[in-house]
Amino acid sequence: MAFIPRAIAPALARAFRQFPALLLTGPRRAGKTTLLRRLFPRAAYHLVEDPDVIARIRSDPRGFLEEVRSPAILDEVQHVPELFSYLRTRIDRVPRRCGQWLLTGSQDAPLMRGVSESMAGRVAVFHLLPLSLQETRHVSMWRGGFPEALARPSAAEVWFRSYLQTYLERDVRAISSIRDLSTFRRFLALLAGRCGQLLNKTDLAAPLGVSVPTITDWLSILETTAQILLVPPFYENFGKRLIKSPKLYFVDSGLLCHLLGLANEAALARSPFLGPVSEGFVASELMKLQVNAGRRRELYYFRDQQGLEVDFLVPMGARRLRLIEVKASRTVTPAAAVPLARLGAAIPQTYVVDKRVVYWQSAEGSSLSTLAPGVRAVGLERLLEEGARDPAGTPLRRARARR
């Protein structure tokens, strides 16, 4: 597969011109290194993962940086967080000089600690997720968006198996002192079966024979390494008593399908997990849209104690809300609009509310169809096109990267 331009690239290019350092985090194998080397081909490249390099940096960090010419890419820099204080010293020598350091890392929390302690105000922080549907049509519910899984479809199952093993052996152990990786692996499989459900830590702890605090720690690891997405309930109750637990999704639907043992798209279509996988796929695409545009992550769901539920609420700015209901079908009926209409009627008139039912569109076209007053059915690609506009409805500009 040829290089696929990433939607986040214009934001990275702007930050490179405005900040001394740029930090790109995200899950392992999402394409961070490939993107930075393609976007900034003149930058020197240093992989900070080889044991010899790590040992050298720890023994003489100042000497290492003196030998590096900038701009420079320091890849997987989470292995030497002590380097941040020395980078700060180098940056402060010429604080107005931008575009000096390009840093990548696969473990968000340790990196953020180093940045907040040593480089606050000196570094622009971005998050790269696997490929999105807007970036390439190769992305799908069954295969997900990891570049290597899409590039070699025939070897994707082997790739996911190897990815999980590498993830467990390297990222998980680097963050936590987990000894029994086989139990953590069963935890992942158990989470896959709970995709799209309200998070219940006690329900997860019992079959694994571990404590609720352990489950809390393990969930934190998965969030830190961008493997799962916890969607919180909307923070305003509109006069209703709300359910307060978050809903659980996987960031990559391909990894989720692998954990569920779904061997092909036909197996997914017949599976009882089709609905939850569809919901999770939409949640991930909406999050990618926000992250790639440099917006805050704002994705919620709504469920009250009377049973009214709407899959997703997306604040669009200026007291605008988008309500989204996901249907794992190519056909939608007016019944799908009922939850949206009920919730819309309960929202104060000070809000402007858009209501959409997302379905898996056939090849005939992408026109919207009205299901009920104010509720329209739309394919996912059309929804993402609408979401790629700013709150005023203007398409977001795609600036060209400066090489």
Q: Are residues 151 and 266 in the same domain?
A: yes
Out of 98, 127, 156, pick the residue that ends a domain.
127
Q: Is 314 within a domain? A: no
Averaged over 87-92, what is the pLDDT? 90
Per-residue pLDDT band for 50 (boundaries 50, 70, 90) equals: confident
CATH number, position 68: 3.40.50.300
Per-residue pLDDT band for 170 (boundaries 50, 70, 90) equals: confident
- For the sheet with 300-303, list strands across it: 300-303, 309-317, 320-326, 352-359, 375-379, 369-372
Averaged over 262-285, what is the pLDDT? 95
Per-residue pLDDT band for 116 (boundaries 50, 70, 90) equals: low
CA-nearest of 395, 392, 362 to 380 is 362
What is the per-residue pLDDT across 338-353, written as a single tens digit (0 to 9) for each?
A: 999 999 998 988 889 9
CATH number, position 169: 1.10.10
Name the residue range of residue 254's domain: 147-231+246-273
What is the per-residue pLDDT across 55-81, written as a single tens digit (0 to 9) for each?
A: 999 999 999 999 999 899 999 888 888
- Which residue type is seen at 7? A
Q: Are residues 93 and 178 in the same domain?
A: no
Tokens of 184: 């953590």
Higher pLDDT, 202 or 167: 202
Q: Are residues 171 and 260 in the same domain?
A: yes
Q: Are residues 111 and 182 in the same domain?
A: no
Q: Is 71 within a domain? A: yes
Q: Are residues 106 and 169 in the same domain?
A: no
Q: What was the pLDDT predicted at 363?
A: 44
How far apart are alpha carbons 247 and 230 in whole angstroms? Answer: 6
Q: Are residues 155 and 268 in the same domain?
A: yes
- Which residue type is seen at 252? D
Q: Is 378 within a domain? A: no
Q: Of the ranges 152-161, 176-185, 247-256, 325-334, which is most confident? A: 247-256
Q: Is 100 within a domain? A: yes
Q: What was the pLDDT predicted at 149?
A: 94
Q: Is 357 within a domain? A: no
Q: Are residues 115 and 178 in the same domain?
A: no
Angle at 352 between CA 349 and CA 356, to 5 degrees: 120
Q: What was the pLDDT predicted at 111?
A: 66
What is the per-residue pLDDT across 194-227, written as a single tens digit (0 to 9) for each?
A: 999 999 999 999 999 999 999 999 999 898 888 9
How far apart are alpha carbons 234 and 231 in whole angstroms? Answer: 9
Q: What was the pLDDT predicted at 396?
A: 37
Q: Are 233 and 302 a contacting pair, CB within 8 Å?
A: yes
Domain tally, the chain: 2
Q: Is the pTM of this model over 0.75?
A: yes
| pLDDT above 90: percentage of residues in the chain | 60
Q: Are residues 53 and 168 in the same domain?
A: no
Per-residue pLDDT band for 401 (boundaries 50, 70, 90) equals: very low
